[in-house]
Structure 1
Amino acid sequence: MPQSALLVTHGSPSDVETQEAALAALAVRVAFYLPGWHVKSATLAAPERLEEKLGRMAAPLIYPYFMAQGYFTGRVLPKRLAPFGLSPMTPFGVDPALLTLVETRLARELAARDWQADETAVLVAAHGSAVSKRSADAAQDFATALQERMGFREIRTGFVEQEPFLEPAARDLGQAICLPFFALVAGHMLDDVPEALEQAGFEGAVLPSFIEWPETAEIIAQALRAESQEAA
């Protein structure tokens, strides 16, 4: 029987179909690295879409395309998977391969601008949460690990939904790169992050959200392959 996988993310309640289409496109890219696999997708924001997809698949691996092991990956998603006898894998944002990828990408950005790490600041722009610490903790842990690897002049983390907020965190950074710690190109990436950076007078480089990184699909495929081999 061919192996199957379902990519799941939160999506956007105000723009359901756009994010459904974006995640479906990512699933196609993941499938490129997994010949013979059936790779599908569903957002939690689309009513009953998850259950609809699961009803058509035979025991797929469930890959949470989330940036943290938080409320949705730890409570909401497992509850909705339970009737199908399934459980989610480790989320994208805490995969060690992501840290390696970001280190490589930042090194490339520095080289392209003839900048040195110890002369450059990094701003990690993240979602945060007014009700749970896990989202902020994941971004802060990522920033700390990144700093230990690369030795930037300074690294700051700023959030859309909690303190320290993104706008003040983005002020007075000088030579800097903004790393958005977001899975999708949705409301925060389209509106809140650019607005906060503009108000802060941030003039550094701004990287895209992870769904637009070419290597993201390969990281997901590697995780799915490893999970499948371990289960076998």
Structure 2
Amino acid sequence: MTRSAVLVAHGAPSDPATQERAMADLAARVGALLPDWRLRGATLAAPGALEHAMDGLDAPLIYPFFMSAGWFTTTELPRRLILAGKGGARCLAPFGADPGLPDLARAAAEAGAAAVALDPARATLLLAAHGSSRPGAVARASARAAAALARRLATRAFARVEVGLIEEAPSLTEVARAARSRGPGLCLPLFAQAAGHVRDDVPRALFEAGFTGLVLAPIGAHPKVPALIAGALAQAE
């Protein structure tokens, strides 16, 4: 029997088509590493996209391309699967919880530092993450995941590893301003997709802070992400 999986991301309500194409491309790249599988991609933001991606697949694995086990992965995605008639589909841990992510983030940051001749031992690595203005443990998932990653990276090459958030304290602007005052640094956005937060909110916050360090591509755009996802799917079977 041919195995199948659907990669599901949040998407961008203001521009659903762009992120739908990005997920289709990601599914194709993962599929190239799993030639015996049927891989599809979808976002929750594009109307009908998830249902269309599930069409014709009997028991696909669901891979949440999200940075944490927050409201979308624990509540909204299961609800949407039920509405699509796939309530029994098995959801894997989200991308942000992959045990290989810390090594991937470290490699991305060190490569970025090397590209601009920045000595990591003298630099601050600033992790930009989403956060949430909503109360409750589930809403805190994004901030907790970013903090956990920072702790994993703190013993590595960089002098300091700090987290700045878009929607809650500590704000990215405040953390970036403090980082700038201590010397050189670079920023790694902890986002799965290069959507509005990456294009608009992160640059705006860094500009307001006067942060002039290198801003890397979001971790979800790293070239090794398809291999990470393919490994998670293969191990799930």
Instruction: Give the structure-2-normalised TM-score.
Output: 0.91
Say if 2:223 is the partner of 1:214.
yes
Written as runs of structure 1 = structure 2, the 5 A alignment for 1:110-121 is 110-121=113-124
Question: Could you tell me whether the CA contact under 8 Å between 1:9 and 1:65 is conserved in 2?
Answer: yes
State the match for 1:227 in structure 2: 236
Amino acid aligned to 1:137 = R
State the match for 1:31 in structure 2: 31
Alignment partner of 1:96: what SS? coil
State the match for 1:68 in structure 2: 68
**Percent identity for Structure 1 against Structure 2:** 44
State the match for 1:163 in structure 2: 169
1:63-93, Cα deviation, whole Å (9 max, x unpaired): 0000001111111112222441113100001
Q: State how far apart, in whole Å, the 1-side matches of 2:45 and 2:112 are.
A: 34
Alignment partner of 2:68: what SS? coil
State the match for 2:20 in structure 1: 20
State the match for 1:153 in structure 2: 159
State the match for 1:133 in structure 2: 140
Q: State how far apart, in whole Å, the 2-side matches of 1:43 and 1:111 are.
A: 34
Alignment partner of 2:163: what SS? strand
Q: State how far apart, in whole Å, the 1-side matches of 2:17 and 2:63 are.
A: 20
Alignment partner of 2:127: what SS? strand
Say if 2:206 is the partner of 1:197.
yes
Question: Could you tell me whether the CA contact under 8 Å between 1:26 and 1:211 is conserved in 2?
Answer: no
Q: State how far apart, in whole Å, the 2-side matches of 1:103 and 1:155 are.
A: 11
**How many residues are paired up?**
227
**Residues 106-115 or 21-30, more deviating:** 106-115
Alignment partner of 1:62: what SS? strand
Alignment partner of 2:169: what SS? coil
- Give the superposed CA RMSD: 1.4
State the match for 2:6 in structure 1: 6
1:26-48, Cα deviation, whole Å (9 max, x unpaired): 11111111112110011011123
State the match for 2:45 in structure 1: 45
Alignment partner of 1:108: what SS? helix
1:11-35, Cα deviation, whole Å (9 max, x unpaired): 0111111110111111111111111
State the match for 2:196 in structure 1: 187
Q: State how far apart, in whole Å, the 1-side matches of 2:51 and 2:63 are.
A: 15
For structure 2, list consecutive stretches of 5 or more residues without a partner in the other structure. Answer: none
Q: State how far apart, in whole Å, the 1-side matches of 2:184 and 2:46 are.
A: 40
Alignment partner of 2:69: what SS? coil
Measured after TM superposition, the shift of residue 151 of structure 1 is 4.8
Q: State how far apart, in whole Å, the 2-side matches of 1:52 and 1:3 are.
A: 18
State the match for 1:89 in structure 2: 92
**Residues 129-138 or 167-176, more deviating:** 167-176
Measured after TM superposition, the shift of residue 62 of structure 1 is 0.5
**Residues 74-83 or 131-140, more deviating:** 74-83
Question: Could you tell me whether the CA contact under 8 Å between 2:162 and 2:175 is conserved in 1?
Answer: yes
Q: State how far apart, in whole Å, the 2-side matches of 1:20 and 1:204 are.
A: 31
**Residues 194-203 or 49-58, more deviating:** 49-58
State the match for 1:143 in structure 2: 150
**Residues 165-174 or 66-75, more deviating:** 165-174
Measured after TM superposition, the shift of residue 169 of structure 1 is 1.0
